[in-house]
Structure 1
């Protein structure tokens, strides 16, 4: 998911949804990866509404 988001690949949105929220005990590591996907979605949605 992280790599897809870095390459602006739309599939990262579905991958982030499939992963779900960070697991207890792995929050900091997983948040770093999930954040990239969420930021991609935010940019995509902002561009679509502009």
Structure 2
């Protein structure tokens, strides 16, 4: 599965993290790409994961 690249905050500035392939985890069927979401009123990066 292709994981697209994304920007990540390192505490000082944003830096680009390139995409790459991820191997399907046993027993998991669908990949959720990493995304920004509001958690507790603050924008946070939610890493990609299998569901």
TM over 0.5: no
State the TM-score, normalized to the length of structure 2: 0.23
Higher helix share goes to which structure?
Answer: 1
Higher relative contact order (CA 8 A, sep 6+): 1
Which entry has the higher C-alpha Rg, 1 or 2? 2
Length-normalised TM-score, structure 1: 0.23
Higher-strand-fraction structure? 2
